[in-house]
Structure 1
Amino acid sequence: AAPAEASASASGPSPDEPFAGLTGAEISERALKATTGARSLRMTGSVPDDESGGTIEIDLALDRRGDCAGTMGMDGQGKAELIKTGDTVYLKYDERFLRAQSKGEPQADTEALVSLLAGRWTSMSADGADAKEMAGFCDLDKLLEDAGGSGDDAPTKVTRGRATTVDGKPAFTLYETDGSTRNTVYVATEGKPYLLRFESGSKQEPGALSFTGYDEPVPAESPAGEVLDLDGLDGTSA
């Protein structure tokens, strides 16, 4: 048994390496615990949109209260500014975003929508049907639950990678294997072991998200000036 133990020790991580003595699964567990304990964070990157088959670009700061502020886009075709504070969702669409979302609609309807909404702040109840999808992106608890994986979503194997950096911050890579897909996770090695970045290895659902701004205040405030109440309009939705 002794030679085998010596061999395993020699091939394992050196004492100077981050998370020395911990398996990939143990590091992943620590990262999940730290990240799910965060009061707020900012996520930037892209994720697949199951409904359209396209890609959603995200830059959002969000907190445990469900408040958020940032921007969202679809396939590089314009952007929508998003703020959720309390029970209200505020959105401001640019013209390019509106035209892309109105593809296939009658030209007159598209022009009317652009004329009404482009560059204007709008508001909707977060509980309304039209706002629920957008408000869902502000649900930090759900986001972190999805990031952790559970049941069928949990990775089948987590292995150690190597020391690296993410946006100048010291990090350590982990490889999460689920069937034939291998995702890469970057964990902070200074301070709390927060999740810094996730890169999907799936060809069917590619995407990558960076996580910063842990426990920082989220600048979610109601827009100043005129705001168009979409709940008061019949049949108007982007």
Structure 2
Amino acid sequence: MSIHATAVVDPQASVDSSACIDPYVIIDGPVNIGPDTRVCAHAVVSGQTTIGARNTIGSFTSIGAPPQDMHYNGEATELIIGDDNQIREYVSIHRGTVMGRKRTFIGNHNMIMAYSHIAHDCTIGDHVIMANVATLAGHVEIGSHANLGGLVAIHQFCRVGQYTYIGGMSGISLDVPPYVIMEGTRNQMRIAGINKIGLRRAGMQRETIKKLDQAFKLLFRSPQLLLKDALAKIQEELADCAEVEQMVDFFQSSKRGVVKRTIDG
């Protein structure tokens, strides 16, 4: 175990023998740090926080702090971070609340860039990228392989589907379906199309991307169809595609509502 002499490690903490704790780190409370994880200088890790294997926790991060919730009163909630994540400088990630899921969860192989914030009760999948200063309010869900640009801000209780790309400086207040690109135009956000480049890079079959594109056109480029009719038509014509079915399920399970359909001229 490599723990620098200037680090302060709570006796309640459990640090794997292969972990590395750099100078001036503070580990406060029943923290559990897994194998080959490095906590860089001046980071603070606190509370009921579990960090898996081979993570890098950047300098001046605040990991596992109490939630910024007016109703939180010191209850035992937790933060769970999986394996192989890069959490860069000045990132803040908060524990859950008893009014929510009681935990904040981050999966595996994620890149959380500098100054990003992940609030209480959020759930993040695998292979997610959050660029600098991306901000999640409480109870947000981010699907695997999603990519959030710099300065993206997402309203509480919103969901972002898997393989979605959201351009920088975007404000999101409704659910964003999977497999799409969102971009800004004249201070407004719109869904521009299917994230074809991202899906190709991920190895998705061309026929699957074609069917997702057909579903997108029915949902977002068919003004003659009500949303419920577009969903019914998709289920009738494209029922053999699991990814299309996931998109339909996303719409049908939305509680906040999905971002507004936009029709290009």
**TM range, smaller chain:** under 0.3
Higher Cα Rg: structure 1 or 2?
1
Q: Which has the higher helix share?
A: 1
TM-score (norm 1): 0.25
Which structure ranks higher in relative contact order (CA pairs < 8 Å, sequence separation ≥ 6)?
1
Q: Which has the higher strand share?
A: 1
